[in-house]
Amino acid sequence: MKIRKMAWYRWLLLLIGLWPGLTLEAQALPNSINSKWESLLEEIVNINSGTGNAVGLDRVRSILIHEFEALGYTTSLINAGDQNKVLSFDFPTAQPEILFVGHLDTVFEKENPFQSFTKIGTTISGPGVIDMKGGIILMLNLLAAESLDHRSKVRIVLNDDEETGSTHSRAILRQQAVKIKYGLVFEPGLGDGSVVTEHSGVRWLKLNVYGRAAHAGLEPEKGINACLEASYKIAKISALSEPERGLTVNVGTIEGGAKPNIVCDQASLTIDIRYRKLADLTEVLAQIETIRSHSSVFNYLLNEGTKSTIESLAELPGMPIESTYELFELAKQSASAVGIEITGRGVGYASDGNNLSETGIQLLVGVGPYGGGMHTNKEFMLTQSYAERLAWLLELTNNILTKGAKQNEK
């Protein structure tokens, strides 16, 4: 995100000392978070809410329920199964026009040493500080703003299994988006402040290879090595990647064998596929099927090779640029109005934007504050990004609701 030149009248006010909160060295927007919201951010960052930590997630939920209800929202707590829950906030009689989407879970388990909120200057670090507890606090800050019109027309949905693909909450998220035209996903912005205008689709597969066990020293000729076959398949599958097309195929884990003195009779590998076009996915799945069906390891004494099967582990549809185009144009106009510039690009990772894209809702992902180190013990937020996002999203949200009101008048 870049700061544009201030309008001439702001510079004039600045020079005569009437523009509040700015000095000659300052930028057009503040670079900090209001102390109230920073304290709330610190409180929830210091609570471990790794996916699956039901106690921690309930503690964070309880704090947020109090905050959203203080703004006039009514809470719905929806059971998603397997201890997972979805929070939804609405005004009792309003028809929502915008969906704010977030998640409470982080990738940090209770045993991880990275557990605390730390602030040094204009940088805040901590588990989930941008992914995405900072985004949730930004939501609250935005909705509490006096200059926000019609907060009653915003629905908020927060799940607790996003970091594992929203397997349990996906259907609920889609149901919450019914009849809503616009959705903002408060994932962190990219490192340069860009928002996400396109998400790759994701498919996870597990390929199982079966051979025949035998004593490696006594009668190895009676064995068929599944681990060796798996290695051939890994090389062939990895060669399918074409990053220039947005297609990546990664073998992420390998398992196999029992003991070094036994010819390996079983092996497995998991495969991560990222794609931009459905045709690319169809093509690569056909190629993997060909690799699966052929055995490079063959025992001519037994006249037998390996056998392999494929099972699907997870699937996320892509979020095509068509799902973001209209909202992104409005976002750029709103950013310009507050003196900043918004850029956008496609990324290979996924979010709940993937899960919502097939509903027809116009989406913008990565509207939350940003910094770096996401999913690592060095995760941090730039406080200036928070201030920039707040000013921009206030303008954008008001513009969306104004546009909706005009359309309803027609």
Tokens describing residue 118 = 């730390």
* 211-269 per-position pLDDT tens digit: 999 999 999 999 999 999 999 999 999 999 999 999 999 999 999 999 999 999 999 99
pLDDT value at 286 more than 90: yes
Tokens describing residue 65 = 């329920």
Alpha-helical (H) ranges within 1-102 are 8-15, 35-45, 54-70
Are 24 and 14 a contacting pair, CB within 8 Å?
Answer: yes
Which residue ranges make up each domain of the chain?
A: 31-199+318-409, 201-316
Q: In what order do the strands lie in the sheet with 371-372?
A: 118-120, 123-125, 380-382, 371-372
CA atoms of 347 and 176, how far apart (whole Å): 25
* 187-210 per-position pLDDT tens digit: 999 999 999 999 999 999 999 999
* 122-156 per-position pLDDT tens digit: 999 999 999 999 999 999 999 999 999 889 999 99
Burial 361-379 (b: 16+ CB within 10 A, else e): bbbbbbbbbbbbbbeeeeb
CA atoms of 363 and 354, how far apart (whole Å): 10
Q: Which residue has the higher pLDDT, 305 or 22?
A: 305
Burial class (CB in 10 A: 0-12, 13-18, 19+), 11: middle
Half-sphere exposure (CA, 13 Å, Cβ side) for 362?
A: 13
Averaged pLDDT of the chain: 91
Half-sphere exposure (CA, 13 Å, Cβ side) for 7?
A: 8
Least confident segment among 28-37, 70-79, 281-290: 28-37
Please choose, from the candidates 401, 393, 351, 345, the residue with its C-alpha nearest in 3D space to the C-alpha of residue 369: 393
pLDDT of residue 7: 42
* 315-328 per-position pLDDT tens digit: 999 999 999 999 99
CA atoms of 253 and 310, how far apart (whole Å): 15
**Banded pLDDT at 75 (limits 50, 70, 90):** very high
| Domain 201-316 is found in CATH 3.30.70.360 | yes
pLDDT of residue 32: 82
| Domain 31-199+318-409 is found in CATH 2.130.10.30 | no
Please choose, from the candidates 121, 98, 89, the residue with its C-alpha nearest in 3D space to the C-alpha of residue 367: 98
pLDDT of residue 288: 98
pLDDT of residue 30: 64
pLDDT of residue 3: 39
CA atoms of 57 and 84, how far apart (whole Å): 9
φ/ψ of 362, rounded to 5, equals -80, 125
CA distances from 116 to 33, 52, 162 (A): 18, 19, 21
pLDDT of residue 404: 54
